[in-house]
Structure 1
Amino acid sequence: MDTKDDFLKNIQNEMNEVFKSQDPEFLDIVFEIEGKKLYADKLRLSVISSTFKTMLSARWNSKNNEPIEITNRKFEDFKEFLAFIYSGDINITNDNILNVLDMAEYYHIDHLKCLFFKSQDPEFLDTVFEIEGKKLYADKLRLAVISSTFKTMLSARWNSKNNEPIEITNRKFEDFKKFLAFLYSGEINITNDNLLNVLDMAEYYHIDHLKCLCDQILSKTEITFSNIFELIKISNKYSLIQLRQPL
């Protein structure tokens, strides 16, 4: 008997085959790139990408099937990108990496952005950190865009070929890895063991959204005589609005 995962994978495989067929009978939206057409379905694109949802909303109940012209992409890159949305696989090369990253950002495909970090491939990731004797790779551009602290830290290396590891001495490897992964995926597993370390990194690197997540978790802590003074100290140190309210 197939498991739930098998069932979902079979559906994904079937959807991928439909996309590869490029059959307008089943695919209800058409893009035109460099004079060539690519077919897809509105529902899948809208569910996966808020940008596609906005782009396609006016056509939802419309019979208008005029091609949507995409003027700022290469046909092969856009085809690879759409194929990823159906299959979960993509062929990333030195020639298309920047275009793929830009599309992942523009269309809000967080899983694709995360793949670059998970690969830990120095061919694509141009910055290396060393924590507790272990290396973590990331890309300067993404870190600098998201964090003013990283921007300052990496500015001297922007046009440099110096790729010596940046040593991070005051963090645990696993915590820093989860923190960097959050910058790519928007997801993080916050536990009682890493909460304060994650909060401290969010504060230090000016990642406000992550800081708010930590604040929200801390605000749900049961306040007792034994922890109230520690919670007040944390609230004041990091200016935590939600935690401060019940104190």
Structure 2
Amino acid sequence: AETLRQEEERFRRTLGRGMSLLEEATAQVGPGGVLPGETAFKLYDTYGFPLDLTQDAVRALGMSVDLVGFDVAMKRQKDQARDAWTGSGQAAAAGEWFSLRERLGPTDFVGHDQGEVTAELLVLMADGAEVAKAGAGQTVQALFDRTPFYGESGGQAGDTGEVEWDGGRGRVIDTQKQASDLHVHVIEIESGELAPGARARLALDADRRTTTRANHSATHLLHAALRNVLGPH
């Protein structure tokens, strides 16, 4: 109950600051005018105002919102986020992962209830660029259409395991999340040749996953105990 109360109070303060900004902006525009898209985006990005809430508020004053300007500001913010993305242990350029995400969509993660699946290899990356194939002795980053491998996020380490395909096999030595929801497998190819389009068996190291998950949960419990004993600071 206390947590909910604090969240409510924080949201009220945020809402109040946003409303103050909106009142100042509409006073400058005047009745029948158009609220700049940049202002509407700031309300959305900084204060959590959905665009439709801003539109409703200014409509009551006989105004409208510059939607084109809003879209431009949104695109600029996304571009900046794309350029600033550094990821954890990624070899490819940041923009490359975002481009792949836009082209292919998110990875279908099935690892909550499956430890082994057959999947199609969509993309191979080596030295920061897409490659048409890779062979024994190489370490590559591989993107499959589905996977049971958990990508490192929220403080929990990525899964490891093995991958097999017709004529070859390799070890998954790490799994990272890129562009928010792409599960990227770091594979050491032990034998054969791997190329996009291959159907592969992905099998995670279930024992390691169980231990990793337990350690991750224990860390949360430790943090909770520290807060209880020492305080919220």
The two structures have a TM-score, normalised by structure 2, of: 0.28
Per chain length, whose mean CA-contact separation is higher, i.e. which structure has more relative contact order (CA < 8 Å, sep 6+)?
2
Bigger-Rg structure (1/2): 2
The TM-score normalised by the length of structure 1 is: 0.27
Looking at secondary structure, tell me which structure has more helix per residue.
Answer: 1
